Structure 1
């Protein structure tokens, strides 16, 4: 005996609701297997649910599209900041820069390691420290670091920070739109269940069974066959 199962994706929920709405558009009101209230509820909810799903998809696409460009900015900024720190450490080793001046950059004076720049928050933090530290050292008469210069580092750091903030905003919009969509799913499932129950009640005495199932399928009900079962043609 085949069994029904409620939709488990947003697209499937939309298809289930659309099937009822379309049926309501083409059928005589007296022939409908669902109440007018259920049909009206389905039509009104479908409009809102489709809009929420489309908005989430748009937010996700914009985030993904911007994310690809952002990752290129991350890679470049990380390269320049890391390279600058390495050149600074070499200058310290050559005694061209006083070791105590590494404190201007927030760098450990006991070693010449490059800080962990693997995360974007760390990159944002260290980029700011490096720019501020170099400007402070130069303002006190220090010789600027070259190849790369702090101006070059600053350009790529600013580009990274701009896309970093934009990406965070896009992620926020995507998360918020997903929360809105998720909050509607319970209502969608409840509405679909109510409609399907009405439809099956309407056709419960129809025989043979396959004819009854086909009538129910016209309203969007999905039936699944268990292993070994075969649908009659």
Structure 2
């Protein structure tokens, strides 16, 4: 589309090989496609840039939560936790092991369980655990939760931009196909040969790509053209005035 617009601006209106109303449509389609593409690329960049912060807050929250659970388990093993581990969901069922904290969901779900459990235990008269404190663990989990929500919003924005890009790509391709047909139809009248028509069309941004079978056939034709016409061996003895004759053969049939 960019090449077509440049070519249109460089020639007179009379020589434009497609309808005049298509010029404005070409500019509109090009601008809309470029703006949508830039918006999509911007969303991808924002998601990628924020992902570093998201991963950092995730690792910090996982680390603080894991350390708190380890301290909690050690204190319970020493008998320092009144009521044992009954406040902390299914933590007691893990046999003294730290639960898996590998995914966003695992960190946030176990985080809520541990924070609520510790707050309930302390309200029942239990001694608070420090290094780290539950307040600090809760703060790190909230930071991670906010980062996760923001990252999900960026993902949704990127997905919407991608879907819009896919829809626009189809309508843009339809317009390019229409423009391509108009240009070729016009150049059929101007070009003296197929090669000349393609050369003129390429000035408007049309790029021709041969299919595999077409490339193979073209290669075969070139090989045929490069083969010298075979000659029949003739003895010139006693026939000095006679000229040698050539044998005519259909060489192209050899390659089919």
TM-score range, shorter chain: 0.7 to 0.9
2:18 to 6, 10, 34: 34
Q: Do residues 220 (structure 1) and 205 (structure 2) align?
A: yes
Cα-Cα RMSD: 1.9
CA distance in 2 between counterparts of 1:119 and 1:62 reads 22
- Give the Cα separation in 2 of the matches to 1:149 and 1:107: 21
Cα pair distance change 1:182/1:139, threshold 3 Å: same
* Cα distance, 1:47–1:103 mapped onto 2, change above 3 Å: farther
How many residue pairs align between the two structures? 213
TM-score (normalizing by structure 1): 0.84
Q: Deviations over 1:58-77 (max 9, x none)?
A: 11101100111110111111
Alignment of 1:37-76 (within 5 A): 37-76=21-60
> Which position in structure 1 is the counterpart of 2:92?
109
Which of the two has higher C-alpha Rg?
Answer: 2
Write the deviation string for residues 112-144 of structure 1: whole angstroms up to 9, x where unpaired: 232222211221222122222111111111111
Equivalent of 1:187, from 171, 180, 183? 171
Q: Which residue of 1 aligns with 2:241?
A: none
Distance 1:106 1:22 in 2: 68
Paired with 2:196 and 2:88, the residues of 1 have a C-alpha distance of 78
Is residue 127 of structure 2 the alignment partner of residue 143 of structure 1?
Answer: yes
Contact 1:23/1:219 (CA < 8 Å) preserved in 2?
Answer: yes
Segments of 5+ residues of structure 2 without an aligned counterpart are 220-256
Mapping for residues 164-179 of structure 1, pairs under 5 Å:
164-179=148-163
Which is bigger in relative contact order (C-alpha 8 A, separation at least 6)?
Answer: 1
Change (3 A) 1:135 1:211: same
Aligned to 2:194: 209
1:12-40 per-residue CA deviation (whole Å, 9 max, x = no partner) reads xxxxx222222222221110111122222
- Matched residue of 1:138: which SS? helix
Is the Cα contact below 8 Å between 1:101 and 1:137 reproduced in 2? no
Rounded Cα–Cα distance in structure 1 between residues aligned with 2:113 and 2:27: 56
1:136-184 Cα shifts (integer Å, max 9, x gaps): 1111111112222112212221221121111111111111111111111
